[in-house]
Structure 1
Amino acid sequence: MPNSGFSLAENGERGGGRVSISRLTLTDFRNYAGLRLDLDPRPVVLTGANGAGKTNLLEAVSYLTPGRGLRAAQLDSVIRLGAGAFAVAAGVDRRAGGPDVGAIDIGTGFRRGDSGRVVRVNHEPAPSVSVLGEIVRALWLTPAMDGLFTGPASDRRRFLDRLVLTLDPGHASRVADFEKAMRQRNRLLEDFRGNDRWLGSVEHAMAELGVAVSTARAGAVRRLTEALRQRAGGVFPDPEIAIEGAFETGAGDQRPSLEVEEAYREELGLGRARDAAAGRTLSGPHRSDLSVIHRGRGVPAALASTGEQKGLLIALILAHARLVADASGGVAPLLLLDEIAAHLDDMRRSALFAEILALGAQAWMTGTDRALFTDIAADAQCLEVADGRLSPV
């Protein structure tokens, strides 16, 4: 039994739809030996000193979705020191602009030595972690993402793929399968021990998966672009986004998928010697990049100020959250916003909170200064975190 449970649930309901956590239970997760937290659908504000465990709670919630969580940590490192496994469980309520459309119990965990996470849905084993994507859709921003626009392209691809995943729960599996096939090809090319038929089979799978990944990304970017245009002109800078890369340029917008797959298979076949010499596959959607431009100034996001970059990220997340809600019958995704208010001025902080409340999302927000959340405190569940223990404010 978790050892520090209490309830803030008030059975209050706001308008609009959402997915929300009604109960969160942690066992041997980071600095939490045991915790049970009962909540209502309102936003959650977590305040406390650095190192108290605020981000750990957001990370735990992020494990209720497919993937490696908001820190992308190795599963072994998430287990509390001295323990052999961790578990995260939750009661998830889904509401679509009216009565509740379902309450679901989900849980996930990992034991040292296992190959991956296990998942249970309504106390029954689930076939894969990807099942979680059909139940909980979540978006997050962390301080580590402040360098997204100036960092490597791989960081922006992962950011884009997280956005795609909230619209298309199968996307994570396709990306993982493509990367697995690509690693197989790289191993075969390493010493040319694979025959042409074997390589051809792997390249056939890469082509199918690569085009599917690229198509999903392109579709999400088109829809997000429209969502950004609809919300343009607010207090946050307006981003303009696009996918860049030789693969996208070669694929084009009008060519049939089968034609693009065949062209990529041919490219992979002709590039075997080149890729063997390089020790890696040099063409494909794994080398694409997400381009973000500050529309108002007409400059790449990488050249914008630190504050403008933060504003561009927030604008992207808010627009995408609205898009996800519209695409899923009015069910707003969870928002996990770590240290979100620290570097915003009063106007932008108030605008962020107003957007969250208008969306109806259960946003989990952290900060060291409780005063930064004054504008949303009356509409939120406020908790003080200290040494892995929570108390209501």
Structure 2
Amino acid sequence: MPATGSGPEAPAPLVRVSVLRLVDFRNHAALRLAFTRPFVVFAGENGSGKTNLLEALSLLSPGRGLRRAVTQDLARKDGSGGFSVGAEIVSNGVESRIATQLRPDAASPTRLIRIDETVPDRAEALLDLLRVLWLTPAMDGLFTGPAGDRRKFLDRLVLAVDPGHGRRAADYERAMRQRNRLLSEHRREDAWIAGVEAQMAELGIAIALARAELVALLAGMILEAGPSGPFPQAGLALTSGYGAMALDRPAADLEDAARLSLAEGRFEDRAAGRTLAGPHRGDLLVSHAGKAMPAALSSTGEQKALLVGLVLAHARLVARISGLSPILLLDEIAAHLDPGRRAALFDIVETLGVQAFMTGTDMDLFSALGSRAQFHPTTAEGVGEPFPPPRAPELP
């Protein structure tokens, strides 16, 4: 598939998806797309499947993808009952093939993952090859929505630099459900409950410390970029979920304190029907640093700009820590940014040296990209061949 536009080729990102193949995925029966530019734009009407393409790319990383969809819901209606997402990638000069699929006759809804000719033990093996980050319209209410949304956002940021974080979080949730059940059944097996609490304390403190480290590193990256950029600086703070307990002590001491807190809180937790302390009660606090104002009180436009700035700072952090330039998925990114900020966003992404996939309903919103991008029209019938970029408006 030829590249579009004219002019010199931009340097290829160190990590990039060169080919994407879909079979019975969402509204796509069969699709093969080859990508030759660092920017890829899918443009078309709402409902034409643009976000489905980004969702497929998000499944090249651990987890449930950018929509957090149930696996069976990813299969095309009236299709085989299964689906397949395949990709050819280049990671620091090494070519690899990744596939994730649900077999039509699968006994369980578990997605299978294959990297080249092997089936990895854990999905986190994908992070050895690429890191996928995303920003979607569903995240626009992040600062005003429930704390649980911010925890999921934060944990996704942590996972991109700490591959073991997702497993710790899942194990903690499993242990907490077990403890809640034991308490609700009024079990008297103190040794059993104590064993579960010891596991929760170890995992919970590890989660809290990983979050705190990520927030500190991200805050440093934001300060390093300086206050003069097109996107406002975000101030970051974290509540651990452990009340007033400071996290500046050795991990072993923190685990002992967390374990004691759980044991002492059994009566209260039993009455509440849930565990009242732990990382599942933490929160990410974001402010508009330039105005010393909570992000939740900022205007809608400022909140969007703060979120974009956070994602860009995180992309820089991921590249620095992992040595892998991340792949950015930016869904409907241009609609709520003024022309100046749109052009600045494109330039910053290019400077980051990453591959970016973007969607929008109006191709003209991406005219500032020019020949840097590969433009695909999307319709209900499918994805079209790339075509020349829209002409940027002439200055008066």
- Of the three residues 96, 99, 102, the one matched with 1:110 is 102
What residue in structure 2 maps to residue 3 of structure 1?
none
What residue in structure 2 maps to residue 29 of structure 1?
25
Contact 2:171 2:203 in 1 (8 A): yes
- Residue deviations 1:284-319 (CA, integer Å, cap 9, x gap): 001000000001111100000000000000000011
What residue in structure 1 maps to residue 393 of structure 2?
none
What residue in structure 2 maps to residue 350 of structure 1?
343
What residue in structure 1 maps to residue 390 of structure 2?
none
Where 2:385 maps in the other structure, the secondary structure is strand
What residue in structure 2 maps to residue 119 of structure 1?
113
- Of the three residues 36, 40, 44, the one matched with 1:40 is 36
Distance 2:292 2:280 in 1: 27
Distance 1:353 1:150 in 2: 27
What residue in structure 1 maps to residue 83 of structure 2?
86
What residue in structure 1 maps to residue 194 of structure 2?
200
TM-score (norm 1): 0.93
Distance 2:134 2:308 in 1: 10
1:15 to partner: Cα distance: 4.0
- Residue deviations 1:19-50 (CA, integer Å, cap 9, x gap): 21011111111001111111125111111111
Distance 2:180 2:171 in 1: 14
What residue in structure 1 maps to residue 301 of structure 2?
307
Distance 1:118 1:188 in 2: 33
TM-score (norm 2): 0.92
1:76 to partner: Cα distance: 1.4
Distance 1:272 1:133 in 2: 38
Q: Which amino acid aligns with 1:43?
A: F
Distance 1:9 1:345 in 2: 25
Where 2:372 maps in the other structure, the secondary structure is coil
What residue in structure 2 maps to residue 226 of structure 1?
220
Q: Which amino acid aligns with 1:381?
A: Q
What residue in structure 2 maps to residue 371 of structure 1?
364
- Residue deviations 1:173-205 (CA, integer Å, cap 9, x gap): 111111111111111111123611111111111
How many residue pairs align between the two structures? 380
What residue in structure 2 maps to residue 180 of structure 1?
174
Distance 2:36 2:72 in 1: 31
1:271 aligns with 2:265: yes
Distance 1:204 1:119 in 2: 33
Moved more, 172-181 or 78-87: 78-87
1:249 aligns with 2:241: no
Distance 1:7 1:190 in 2: 62
Contact 2:98 2:116 in 1 (8 A): yes
Please list every run of at least 4 consecutive aligned residues from structure 1 whose deviation after the TM superposition is greater than 4 angstroms: 6-10
Q: Which amino acid aligns with 1:332?
A: S
Where 1:21 maps in the other structure, the secondary structure is strand
- Quickly say closer, same or farther: Cα 1:73–1:141, change in 2 above 3 A: same
Q: Which amino acid aligns with 1:340?
A: I
Distance 1:15 1:248 in 2: 48
1:389 to partner: Cα distance: 2.6
Moved more, 127-136 or 26-35: 127-136
- Residue deviations 1:59-97 (CA, integer Å, cap 9, x gap): 0000010111101111111111123111111111113xx
- Residue deviations 1:228-264 (CA, integer Å, cap 9, x gap): 00112211111001112441631x2421000000111
1:380 aligns with 2:373: yes
Contact 2:208 2:240 in 1 (8 A): no
Contact 2:20 2:85 in 1 (8 A): yes
Q: Which amino acid aligns with 1:75?
A: T
